[in-house]
Structure 1
Amino acid sequence: MDMDAFVAASKPTWDRLEDLVRRHRRLTGAEVDELVELYQRATTHLSVVRSGSTDALLAGRLSSLVARARSAVTGAHTPAWREVVRFFTVSFPVTAYRARRWWLGAAAASLVVAYVVGVWVARNPDVQAAVGTPEDIRQLVEHDFADYYSEHPAASFAGEVWINNAWVSMQVIVSAVLLGIPIPWILWQNAANVGLLGGLMHAHDRAGVFWGLILPHGLLELTAVFLAAGVGMRLGWTVIDPGPRRRGEALAEQGRAVMSVALGLVAVLFVSGLIEAGVTPSGLPTWARVSIGVLAEALFLTYVIVFGRRALRDGETGDIEQAPDLAPTA
């Protein structure tokens, strides 16, 4: 093949494609069709040039044109950092805010259960005797409970705590696949265990130790669990009451919301794990450690309320921007 003749014959096509690529945001419908056609033609030309010419400069110039044309035809992707920013400023907080009644209800119910169980255990020696021998309980309240937070190096303990907290929350998230039916039982077990431990600590005059060690990280950690439970139970309720949408559409949207919360809780539980490993067992005064936990909880709730309410006011739902399963409904 005479490559010089081929280049001379193809150059008007390349020049026209160059012009369309430069103006691709302002093209008419006919020009868009032309852009696609010329892009396909230029792709073929690039193959010919690569196989029949040793001119690296020509091949590079044409390859660049084809790449820019491909971007114009397929559309540029949103930069990854923008997706991350959108997730943490819109998707996650608005999803949490929309499900607030569910996870606040889960929190209230769990606190009631923990309080009732704690009072029952603290005021009934027979119940305490059924839990364990006096020696076992004494070992727990005087040594094991406090030693749990300081027996490992902070860095490794933070990783263990994060994995454990993530596992508990993931159990709740996975339960959403079963329409949230197991979630009340998981919350009951968690609340009963906290109440049992708190009751034993109170009964043996170790209330200060209990609250001083549980509050710094527990506020944020339990909020994460309650949030996961809330969106999971909301998914189950969607089956019963999908609203004005088709049931499949409502379930798809709520399922994506569950996954959004699961991703967001990775960061929340990471912070909780850092507090549990670095603040809870530290030598700071109890008031300082508790204050750090309260501050972390207040910051998270403020974040959800401020960003979630603003996104909801702007019409955001937390769903992906171009949901694939939407259909007009009357």
Structure 2
Amino acid sequence: MDLDAYVNAHRATWERLDELSRRRGLSGAEADEIIDTYQRVATHLSVIRSAAPDASLVAYLSALLARARSRAAGTKGDTWAEMARFVTQSFPAALYRMRWWWLSVMGASMVLTVAVAWWLLDHPRIESSLASADEIERLVNNDFEGYYSQHAATSFAAQVWTNNFWLAALCIALGIFGFPVVFMLVFNVINIAIVASIMIRHGRGDLFFGLILPHGLLELTCLFIAAGVGLRLFWAWVAPGARSRATALGEEGRSAIGVALGLVGLLLISGVIEAFVTPSGLPTWARVGIGIAVWAAFFAYVFTLGRWAYNAGERGDVSEADRGFAAPVA
């Protein structure tokens, strides 16, 4: 088949479908037209795939069909149904499927944190090389505690949420390269260990754990998840298994994007706790108890809803009809 001739013969139909799919409102005749045009373009895609596969053209038509399908069939009710499906099935199933990656990252990070903090406590002279005596005194007596209450709670929550999501998004986006994720993870873990060792050495360990645990349990878990997902993405092209590298990256990449979207909600919860609970006047046991309860609820979410959805066949990927290689045809 002469692909150029085929494209020229049907370009007008594709452009018409593109135009209809971008319109805010469709008349009755246009609604009928978009369905008819969709079916014709789906047939064109099927022909191109079988007779003269061209990656860029297939990707273009697949995206065009996906947008047209959403425009023709999407309703507000459908949108809410998709959101509910994401929260109750796709997101927890993706977390459950990749659980060994982020749980391994979590375990290794905790071991490293404890080891570094322990080593610093065993070598007190290192502390003086990290900061001056005045800086350490300010950190212990004022800065660490003051950090959580120096800004208005609402603006502080937004700032924390944005910063944490940016870090998580970087872990996922740079995951394909592997090393940057490990670097960011180790850098953050060592910083936590340094602060912990300083606070503990100066008799403020109770203050440190009382302020960091309420929000830190969920916040750090989100970071570990992002790092685990990023490393899983890296491993998808290093060792794709029976899949081609392109297929493995596509599947893991779509799941990674879904996890990133889900982390937006989790980090929002963490940010609210950090802004409103951590610096509150509640007793330490109550603040830490809230953090533990939220953390436990997260694990129950992953290992109940996520396990159920995973066992039912959900993998955290987009639906088969929305994948470029499986667009419906007439």
Q: Which residue of 2 aligns with 1:107?
A: 106
Q: Which residue of 2 aligns with 1:220?
A: 218
Query: Do 2:158 and 2:271's aligned partners in 1 also have CA atoms closer than 8 Å?
Result: yes
TM (norm. structure 2) is: 0.76
Q: Which residue of 1 aligns with 2:128?
A: 129
Q: Distance in 2 between matches of 1:67 and 1:325?
A: 27
Q: Give aligned pairs, total.
A: 264
Shift of 1:104: 0.5
Q: Distance in 2 between matches of 1:276 and 1:247?
A: 41
Q: Which residue of 2 aligns with 1:267?
A: 265
Amino acid aligned to 2:325: D
Query: Do 1:94 and 1:311's aligned partners in 2 also have CA atoms closer than 8 Å?
Result: yes
Q: Which residue of 2 aligns with 1:153?
A: 152
Amino acid aligned to 2:256: V
Query: Do 1:91 and 1:319's aligned partners in 2 also have CA atoms closer than 8 Å?
Result: yes
Q: Secondary structure at the match of 2:325?
A: coil
Mapping of residues 174-185 of structure 1, within 5 Å = 174-178=173-177, 180-185=178-183
Q: Which residue of 2 aligns with 1:77?
A: 74
Q: Distance in 2 between matches of 1:308 and 1:183?
A: 25
Q: Could you list the structure 1 runs, at least 4 aligned residues long, displaced by more than 4 angstroms after superposition.
A: 70-75
Residue by residue over 1:36-61, the C-alpha shift from the partner in whole angstroms, topping out at 9 and shown as x without a partner, is xxxxxxxxxxxxxxxxxxxxxxxxxx
Shift of 1:90: 1.4
Q: Distance in 1 between matches of 2:223 and 2:103?
A: 11
Q: Secondary structure at the match of 1:265?
A: helix
Shift of 1:325: 3.4
Residue by residue over 1:260-290, the C-alpha shift from the partner in whole angstroms, topping out at 9 and shown as x without a partner, is 1111001010000000000000000000000
Mapping of residues 1-330 of structure 1, within 5 Å = 64=28, 66=29, 69-70=32-33, 73=36, 76-77=73-74, 79-178=78-177, 180-322=178-320, 323-325=323-325
Q: Distance in 2 between matches of 1:191 and 1:114?
A: 6
Amino acid aligned to 1:77: G
Q: Distance in 1 between matches of 2:174 and 2:35?
A: 43
Q: Distance in 2 between matches of 1:152 and 1:217?
A: 17
Shift of 1:192: 0.5
Query: Do 2:176 and 2:231's aligned partners in 1 also have CA atoms closer than 8 Å?
Result: no
Amino acid aligned to 1:306: T
Amino acid aligned to 1:123: D
Q: Distance in 1 between matches of 2:113 and 2:130?
A: 16
Q: Distance in 1 between matches of 2:113 and 2:233?
A: 25
Amino acid aligned to 2:112: V
Query: Do 1:176 and 1:235's aligned partners in 2 also have CA atoms closer than 8 Å?
Result: yes
Query: Do 1:257 and 1:318's aligned partners in 2 also have CA atoms closer than 8 Å?
Result: yes
Amino acid aligned to 1:193: N
Give the RMSD, CA atoms, in angstroms.
1.9
Residue by residue over 1:170-189, the C-alpha shift from the partner in whole angstroms, topping out at 9 and shown as x without a partner, is 221221242x3311111111
Q: Distance in 1 between matches of 2:261 and 2:31?
A: 34
Where structure 2 has 5 or more consecutive residues not aligned to the other structure, the ranges are 1-26, 39-71
Q: Distance in 1 between matches of 2:176 and 2:235?
A: 12
Q: Distance in 2 between matches of 1:83 and 1:250?
A: 24
Amino acid aligned to 2:74: H
Q: Secondary structure at the match of 1:85?
A: helix
Q: Distance in 2 between matches of 1:248 and 1:125?
A: 51
Q: Distance in 1 between matches of 2:218 and 2:175?
A: 21
Amino acid aligned to 1:76: A
Amino acid aligned to 1:253: E
Q: Distance in 2 between matches of 1:130 and 1:68?
A: 70
Q: Cα gap change, 1:70/1:159 in structure 2, threshold over 3 Å: closer, same or farther?
A: same
Query: Do 2:90 and 2:316's aligned partners in 1 also have CA atoms closer than 8 Å?
Result: yes
RCO (CA 8 Å, sep 6+): is it higher in 1 or 2?
2
Q: Distance in 2 between matches of 1:70 and 1:309?
A: 42
Q: Distance in 1 between matches of 2:173 and 2:266?
A: 18
Amino acid aligned to 2:245: R
- The structure with the larger Rg is 1
Where structure 1 has 5 or more consecutive residues not aligned to the other structure, the ranges are 1-62
Q: Distance in 1 between matches of 2:266 and 2:280?
A: 21
**Percent identity of equivalent pairs:** 45
